[in-house]
């Protein structure tokens, strides 16, 4: 299973349209997506612990009733269930949108591709810098680049995720540009709500 996860992850980076089509006919499509989400969430849980150990506090006030000093410690424990729930909600919303237009696919058909559409952009733009740069610089030294560059770093994964969701909807549901665009927008919105509620 892990071999499939890493193989599809690479395909989603270099040829996402082909990856979405291949994954649609993969027997363990949704299971591969599930383990991709879990692996990424586990990696980000480790990142949260590193941030807590190096004294990081949330950049903006938490919604959950958790103290700022221990927020990242707690985040290490709820990241995995948060990631799974976010994946299911966003994937479900996209499926319901497409279900209005076509009945030929099941929710599980989209969950596999959706997992990689979510994690690939965040792996490069969020996990890598927050794991290998932030803990060494500390909260007051990160980010080491200008504010405009930080805004780009936080915007690019959202745009990349939207593009991948668009591609996935086109392939899985044979959606036209309108339905695929709606899929991308709804998926990003659902993910953004879950992110703002829990992740700091």
What's the pLDDT band for 61 if we cut at 50, 70, 90?
Answer: confident
Query: Is residue 46 helix, strand or coil?
Result: helix
Contact present, 198 and 83 (Cβ < 8 Å):
no
d(CA 86, CA 15): 25
For residue 2, is pLDDT > 80?
A: no
What's the pLDDT band for 16 if we cut at 50, 70, 90?
Answer: very high
State the pLDDT at residue 100.
Answer: 94
Q: Mean pLDDT over residues 3-16, rounded? A: 95
State the pLDDT at residue 49.
Answer: 97
pTM > 0.85: yes or no:
yes
36-40, 101-105, 108-112, 172-176: which has the minimum mean pLDDT? 101-105
Q: Where are the domains of the chain?
A: 16-43+78-198
What's the pLDDT band for 48 if we cut at 50, 70, 90?
Answer: very high
d(CA 151, CA 1): 36
State the pLDDT at residue 62.
Answer: 85
For residue 184, is pLDDT > 90?
A: yes
For residue 17, is pLDDT > 90?
A: yes
Give residue-wise pLDDT tens across range 100-136.
998 889 999 999 999 999 999 999 999 999 999 999 9
The tokens describing 198, both together, are 């829990």
SS3 labels along 107-141: HHHHHHHHHHHHHHHHHHHHHHHHHHCHHHHCCCC
């Amino acid at each position: 299973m892990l071999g499939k996860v890493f193989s599809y992850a690479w395909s989603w980076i270099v040829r996402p349209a082909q990856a979405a089509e291949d994954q649609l006919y993969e027997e363990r499509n949704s299971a591969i997506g599930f383990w991709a989400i879990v692996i990424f969430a586990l990696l980000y849980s480790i990142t949260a612990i590193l941030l807590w150990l190096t004294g990081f506090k949330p950049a903006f006030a938490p919604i959950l009733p958790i103290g700022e000093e221990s927020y990242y410690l707690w985040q290490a424990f709820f990241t995995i269930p948060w990631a799974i729930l976010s994946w299911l909600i966003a994937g479900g919303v996209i499926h319901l949108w497409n279900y209005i237009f076509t009945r030929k696919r099941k929710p599980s058909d989209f969950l596999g591709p959706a997992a990689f559409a979510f994690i690939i952009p965040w792996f490069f733009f969020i996990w890598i810098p927050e794991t290998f740069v932030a803990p060494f610089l500390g909260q007051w030294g990160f980010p080491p680049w200008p504010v405009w560059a930080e805004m780009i770093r936080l915007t690019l994964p959202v745009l990349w995720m939207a593009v991948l969701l668009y591609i996935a909807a086109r392939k899985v549901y044979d959606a036209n540009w309108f339905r695929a665009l709606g899929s991308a927008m709804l998926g990003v919105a659902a993910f953004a709500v879950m992110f703002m509620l829990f992740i700091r």
